[in-house]
Amino acid sequence: MVDSEVQLDAADFDRMAWLHVDSIDDSLPALLGVGFSDRLYRFLARSPDETLFPERVDGRIESVCVLSFAPASLHGRILRGTLPVLVLHALSAFVMRPDFRTFLRRSVAEARRDVESPAAPEITYIFTNGRLRGHGLGARLLARVETYLRDRGETACFVKTLDTADNRAIAFYEENGFAPIGTRAEAGRRFVQFQKPIPGSDRLPKS
């Protein structure tokens, strides 16, 4: 679903897909390309388990956050919900992109062992147009997510980011009230997991 009563048209989905591929170039949607990412965001906009938070500047989407209440099942639901397009783009990426083949090999190896389920609700993606980073769009998105979760009676929000020394997202989350609570591995990479309490949520009933 989409936060509030925001209306999205075809250009908005194309914009979100392009921003995702441009901003998170090592993610699976980016490895599969803009065509798949467009279908992904159409799926997320319909999903009852995810909420999209687009942030506009002068009418155009420039920053996006995806919140999931069922992150452990998200990849499987994406697979079922986008299968024909996913297969088409995956075949092309397998032939053309060595980085996709590496990602796929690591994911298959990981699927053979037990992996800790992610906590929920979890921010699965958040990104901003590179030319507008540092202008507070990401912080505004996090504030919208916090308000949304408080209204639902949730007590915490989770997010993960790559556990690397040069990852500026670590400082970004810490500056916005998230605290590291551990690490976990996905597709051969290690991530830091963060948690942020939602003040006041314990006084509201669960929806």
What is residue 179's predicted lDDT score, i.e. its pLDDT?
97
Quote the pTM value: 0.85
What is residue 94's predicted lDDT score, i.e. its pLDDT?
77
The token pair that represents 190 in the structure block: 């290690």
What is residue 116's predicted lDDT score, i.e. its pLDDT?
63
- 84-103: pLDDT as tens digits: 887 887 888 777 788 767 76
Q: Please list the ranges in the chain whose pLDDT falls under 70.
A: 5, 100, 103-117, 187, 201-207
What architecture is the 10-203 domain classified under in CATH?
3-Layer(aba) Sandwich (3.40)
What is residue 67's predicted lDDT score, i.e. its pLDDT?
98
CA 71-75-80 angle, to 5 degrees, is 125
Q: Single out the residue of 128, 144, 154, 126 nearest to residue 60, CA to CA.
A: 128
Q: Single out the residue of 67, 62, 59 nearest to residue 2, CA to CA.
A: 67
CA dihedral 144, 146, 149, 153 (to 10 degrees): -140
What is residue 184's predicted lDDT score, i.e. its pLDDT?
86
State the Cα–Cα distance between residues 95 and 152, nearest whole angstrom. 45
